[in-house]
Amino acid sequence: MTSTRSTRPTEIEADPAVPTIRMVREFDAPPERVFRAWVDPDLFVRWIGPRSIDTRIDHWDARTGGSWRYASVRDGEEIASFYGSFHEVRPHERLVQTFTFTGYPDGVSLETMTFSDLGDGRTRIVGLSVVESMEIRDMILASGMDTGVVEGYQKLDELLAAG
Amino acid sequence: MATDSLSRAFAALADPTRRDIVARLAVGDATVSELAAPFDVSLQAVSKHVKVLADAGLVTQTRRAQRRPCHLDAEVFDLMTAWIERYRRRAEERYQRLDTVLADMDDAEHPTAHPHHTPRDQGAAS
């Protein structure tokens, strides 16, 4: 199970003309497995949030037309929650979701994740997030409206400082 | 840096001619006529592009005699890059956690449930 094959780091691209964020990452596992880590709630909670935060799934129906809701919990206290729909669940190929941070209820992001089989047990995912304006997009880039932000910038600032 | 400043910077860079101008200025300062040389456009058009870049804080024009060379303000680019890099690192940290989960799944096709997480509705995903 150990793999020494180098994994290319995550690529992030903010389009200068439209309010999107594009993300590319490769994984050392076949598409079926990567897809399952995304739609199986028991697996999802193990990687989505920072280590200091527990992700509590309140609702999870990973079917086309289904919906989801989860909360970030630190020291037993809910600090943020998120919800959205599973617009399309096409096993091992494509996952389309909406995403709203309840702290900013007017905002909604459309998230399309594509899973490509690279052969040799590897997968490339391409994620495209579309939001309503360049301002919102840049705010997301600057602060993050995902679970990562609730950890605060502390850890990342340390990382950046350590450079 | 205010969010609207960053938006202006991204918007200014949405234009391919302005991106070319920025690429040229990354090599060194240049006057508007020097900038216009490789393009099939008027000096006025290039001046307009430079003004957009200046309004976005990407370019400054110094008043050095009559030459008034344009200068790329690298600080704004550094901030944009830093923001994207911070976002990227956060995503990378998350996907490294996913790498670990995927490696665990190699061993057990049916992953071990974590008892402290009890999803109420697992739908068709499980």
A3 belongs to a structural domain: no
Q: Three-class SS of residue B4?
A: helix
Instruction: Read off the pLDDT band of A88 (50, 70, 90).
Output: very high
Q: A82-97: buried (b, 16+ CB within 10 Å) or exposed (e) per residue?
A: bbbbbbebeeeeebbb
CA A125 to chain centroid: 11
A138 belongs to a structural domain: yes
For residues A15 and B15, what is the distance between their CA atoms, to the nearest angstrom?
Answer: 12
What is the tally of structural domains in chain B? Answer: 1
B122 belongs to a structural domain: no
Residue of B nearest to A42 (CA): B113
pLDDT at A116 over 90: yes
Question: Out of B4, B88, B113, whose CB is closest to A42?
Answer: B113
- Name the more confident of B4 and B14: B14
Residue of B nearest to A10 (CA): B92
Instruction: Read off the pLDDT band of B24 (50, 70, 90).
Output: confident
CB A118 within 8 A of CB A125: no
Query: Averaging pLDDT over each range in A61-65, B2-6, B103-107, which range is the top one?
Result: A61-65
B121 belongs to a structural domain: no
Q: Identify the bridge partners of residue A54 per DSSP, sorted by sequence position.
A: A73
Most B CBs within 10 Å, among A6, A42, A125, to test the B interface: A42
B112 belongs to a structural domain: no
What is the tally of structural domains in chain A? Answer: 1
Q: What is the pLDDT of residues B74-126, one digit of tens each?
A: 777 776 677 778 788 888 989 999 999 999 986 555 544 444 444 444 444 43
- Name the more confident of B48 and B73: B48
Please give the average per-residue pLDDT across A33-60, as a whole number: 91
Structure tokens at A94: 């494509």
Tell me whether residues A148 and B90 touch, CB distance under 8 A: yes
B69 belongs to a structural domain: yes
Please give the average per-residue pLDDT across A89-117, as a whole number: 94
Q: Which domain holds residue B11?
A: 3-73
Q: What is the pLDDT of residue B13?
A: 79
Most A CBs within 10 Å, among B4, B80, B86, to test the A interface: B86
A16 belongs to a structural domain: yes
Structure tokens at B85: 């890099």
Tell me whether residues A61 and B123 touch, CB distance under 8 A: yes
Q: What is the CATH number of the domain that holds A34?
A: 3.30.530.20
Query: What pTM did the predictor assign?
Result: 0.65
ipTM value for the complex: 0.77
Instruction: Read off the pLDDT band of B4 (50, 70, 90).
Output: low
For residues A26 and B18, what is the distance between their CA atoms, to the nearest angstrom?
Answer: 33
DSSP states of chain A as a string?
A: ----SPPPPPEEEE-SSSSEEEEEEEESS-HHHHHHHHH-HHHHTTTSS-TTSEEEEEEE--STTEEEEEEEEETTEEEEEEEEEEEEEETTTEEEEEEEETTSTT--EEEEEEEEEEETTEEEEEEEEE-S-HHHHHHHHHH-SSHHHHT-SHHHHHHHHH-
Residues in chain B: 126
B111 belongs to a structural domain: no
A4 belongs to a structural domain: no
B26 belongs to a structural domain: yes
Please give, rounded to a whole number of angstroms, the shortest distance from the CA of A37 to a CA of chain B: 7
Most A CBs within 10 Å, among B87, B92, B104, B126, to test the A interface: B87
Q: Exposed, middle or buried by CB within 10 Å (0-12, 13-18, 19+), for B35? A: buried
pLDDT above 90 coverage of chain A, percent: 55
A111 belongs to a structural domain: yes
Over chain B, what is the mean pLDDT? 76
Please give, rounded to a whole number of angstroms, the shortest distance from the CA of A150 to a CA of chain B: 12
Q: Which domain holds residue A141?
A: 11-162
Q: What is the largest CA-CA distance in chain A?
A: 44
Q: How far is CA B61 from CA B21, B27, B57, B68, B69, in A?
A: 13, 16, 11, 6, 6
A76 belongs to a structural domain: yes
For residues A129 and A6, what is the distance between their CA atoms, to the nearest angstrom?
Answer: 26
B123 belongs to a structural domain: no
For residues A22 and A10, what is the distance between their CA atoms, to the nearest angstrom?
Answer: 10
A5 belongs to a structural domain: no
Please give the average per-residue pLDDT across A115-143, as a whole number: 88
Q: What is the pLDDT of residue A67?
A: 98
Q: What is the CATH number of the domain that holds B13?
A: 1.10.10.10
A145 belongs to a structural domain: yes
The tally of CA atoms less than 13 A away on the side-chain side of residue A114 is 8
For residues B105 and B112, what is the distance between their CA atoms, to the nearest angstrom?
Answer: 9
Q: What is the pLDDT of residue B119?
A: 46
